[in-house]
Amino acid sequence: MGQIVKELHEKRMKLWDRTIANRKKYIDIETGVISNQYTKKRSCPVCESNNELEIFIKEGGRYVKCEDCNMVYLNPVFTNEAIKSYYESNHTEQSGVVESDTDNFYVNIYNGGLDNIQNTSSYASTILDIGCSSGTFLDLAKKRKFNTFGIELNQSEYKFAKAKGHKVYNDLLENINLKEKFDVVTLWDVFEHLEDGEFYLNEIKKVLSDSGIIFLQVPSSDSLAAKILREHCNMYDGLEHVNLYGVSTIEKLANKCGFKVLSLKTVISEIGVINNYLNYENPYLGTTTNKDFIPNLIDEEQIHETLQGYKLQVILGKE
């Protein structure tokens, strides 16, 4: 299993290198941060406070923590025009990593999410996956007899998912005139990319059935790995991960939009990554074989019991 995880990280490192190469043209050489011509300042995306503490700068992005609600976010962020240009010129190889998942890392994560969804809402039959990429998650949902729908902005991935038989839209949610109401709307590692989470939760509410639920998987700013590794953690990418929610901030935002938390858990302990780092090695490519516990501190079960895993899986329902 350790070798499998290491190989996944090696693939992601190659994608990361290509992402950074694309990003350099936006960074001011003198300041080391993304040039002002591409960015805008903002308030806390959860509580709207301007009381912030700078945490660090990484790859041109400035991460801050809200002193009032503890939300972690990028400030400033790309303007709408700049982010559109960036995504149009960026690589699209992440779907290839997922599609070639011969060791079932993603399949297991997706199936765990589907188990959680069906345990929360056993009657659910229609599912909309926002940011569905090439449709791997929808493939698994279809096997469980869901009617599958997706939204994907990347043209090639949209066509790939559509060719599999899913009903897929190639536009932003707010621009699509959806006739259907969905029992489940999912966002797998997408919500952290959205600058205005409040806006999108309210948009999603419009397409939910009366008892519909939202499933989110997001990197967690409360994770032990993120707090120990800080700027060395892949969670902090400096541009695309604009909002990094924790347990309290995702609940605060949900309540603000008229939702309640029905289920909340963490997945992926990152113990191996932490042990590599504590052993003065590259956290993602180091040689540790211990993926189960941090000596004298904590084990995998305790990490998830205390909601300190790398990613949060959250299910929201209407209040």
Looking at residue 86, what is its pLDDT?
74
pLDDT tens for 95-136 read 554 555 556 889 999 999 999 999 999 999 999 999 999 999
Nearest C-alpha neighbor of 312 from the set 217, 189, 188: 217
The string of pLDDT tens digits covering residues 64-100 is 999 999 999 999 999 988 887 777 666 555 555 455 5
Query: In angstroms, what is the C-alpha Rg of the chain?
Result: 19
Asked if residue 204 is part of any domain, the answer here is yes
Judged against a pLDDT cut of 60, whether residue 225 lies above it is answered with: yes
Question: Which CATH number covers residue 121?
Answer: 3.40.50.150
Question: Looking at residue 5, what is its pLDDT?
Answer: 55
* Count of C-beta atoms within a 10 Å radius of residue 8: 16
Whether residue 263 is contained in a domain is answered as: yes
8 A C-beta contact, residue 302 and residue 294: no
**Is residue 224 in a domain?**
yes
* 251 domain residue, yes or no: yes
pTM comes to: 0.90
Question: Residue 232: inside a domain, yes or no?
Answer: yes
Q: Are strands 243-244 and 72-74 parallel, antiparallel or unpaired?
A: antiparallel
Count structural domains, the chain: 1
- Evaluate whether residue 49 is within a structural domain: no
pLDDT in tens, 202-223: 999 999 999 999 999 999 999 9
Q: Mean pLDDT score of the chain, rounded to an integer?
A: 90
Buried b (16+ CB within 10 A) or exposed e, 213-242: bbbbbbbbbbbbbbebbeebbbbbbbbbbb
Per residue in 22-73, pLDDT (tens digit) is 677 888 888 888 899 999 999 999 999 999 999 999 989 999 999 999 999 9
**Alpha carbon of 104 to those of 20, 41, 108, 110, 308: distances in Å?**
28, 40, 6, 10, 23
pLDDT at residue 9 greater than cutoff 90: no
Mean pLDDT of 282-298: 94
The residue with greater pLDDT, 156 or 312, is: 312
Tokens of 295: 């000596």
Three-class secondary structure of residue 25 per DSSP? helix
Domain containing 302 equals: 92-318
- How far is it, in rounded angstroms, from Cα 306 to Cα 311? 13
Q: Evaluate whether residue 221 is within a structural domain.
A: yes
Whether residue 249 is contained in a domain is answered as: yes
